[in-house]
Amino acid sequence: MRVMVVEDDEDIRVAVAGELRGAGLEVDTAGDLAGAGEALAHNGYDCVVFDRVLPDGDAIDHVRTRRRDGWAVPVLFLTARDSVADRLAGFAHGGDDYLVKPFANAELAARVLALCRRSGSGRPPVLRHADLEVDCARREVRRAGVLLTLSGKEFAVLEYLAAHAGRAVARGDLIEHCWDTESDPMANVVDVVVVRLRRKLREPGLIHTVVGYGYRLGTT
């Protein structure tokens, strides 16, 4: 899952991004609304964390405009404004959650994970294909009932393939959803992760190459 943090305080931005990455999320960051707008125009996100007061405006106005255009990505407002009126305004104009500074990074991560799961509410909490089980909430994978040990990136790629089981998934889509902009992935990074996944999943193979395009999760 991929999220964006929009916060002009560099110390807070770095700390929050680190906490979210530690929770297994891919994280992009921006320091103002202009940077956020550019990232949102080119990338898909499961959740966006907005500081309310940014150098180029109030994030509430930015979110309200996007909501009018049909934008549905979950939003958590992060702010020092703690009055009831401020919190109600956040919810009224497109926010899904509201966390007041100072806050515990662990609580922020838990709230963001909950919003990410909500954004994929049409997706079952456990993805099953043949004898493969991908538990999205627990971030656990089992093959024939055996718990597998996967890295965060391996889990992200397998989760995305499992969510689109039976369909061809482009390498570019995997990079967009499983890597953030700060990771600067190499051209063959998806192939490297898939090689490791195939080894850990063992036979019979479930991840099939779609020549010149990407990969497909399936039994045949």
Cβ contact 50:75 at 8 Å? yes
Q: Partners of 128 in the beta sheet?
A: 133
Rounded to whole angstroms, how far apart are CA atoms 160 and 134? Answer: 10
Q: What's the confidence (pLDDT) of residue 123?
A: 61
Instruction: Please state the rounded mean pLDDT for residues 120-125.
Output: 60
Distance from C-alpha of 85 to C-alpha of 45, rounded to nearest angstrom = 28
CATH classification (class only), 126-217: mainly alpha
Query: pLDDT tens-digit profile of 128-173?
Result: 899 999 987 778 899 999 999 998 889 989 998 998 888 899 988 8
Average pLDDT of span 174-182: 77
Both tokens of 12, joined, read 């807070």
Contact 76, 47 (CB under 8 A): yes
**Taking the domains of the chain in order of start, what are their residue ranges?**
2-119, 126-217
pLDDT value at 184 more than 60: no
- Residues 209, 166: contact at Cβ < 8 Å? no
190 three-state secondary structure: helix
CA distance 14 to 175: 22
Helix (H) or strand (E) holding 195: helix 189-201
The pLDDT of residue 97 is: 93
The pLDDT assigned to 202 comes to 92
Identify the band that residue 4 occupies on the pLDDT scale cut at 50, 70 and 90.
very high
pLDDT tens profile 35-72: 999 988 888 888 999 999 899 999 999 999 998 888 88
According to the CATH classification, is domain 2-119 in 3.40.50.10890? no
Claim: this prediction has a pTM higher than 0.85: no
**Partners of 210 in beta bridges:** 214
For the chain, percent of residues with pLDDT exceeding 70: 94
- Residues 109-136, mean pLDDT to the nearest whole number: 81
Please say if the pLDDT value at position 125 is more than 80.
Answer: no
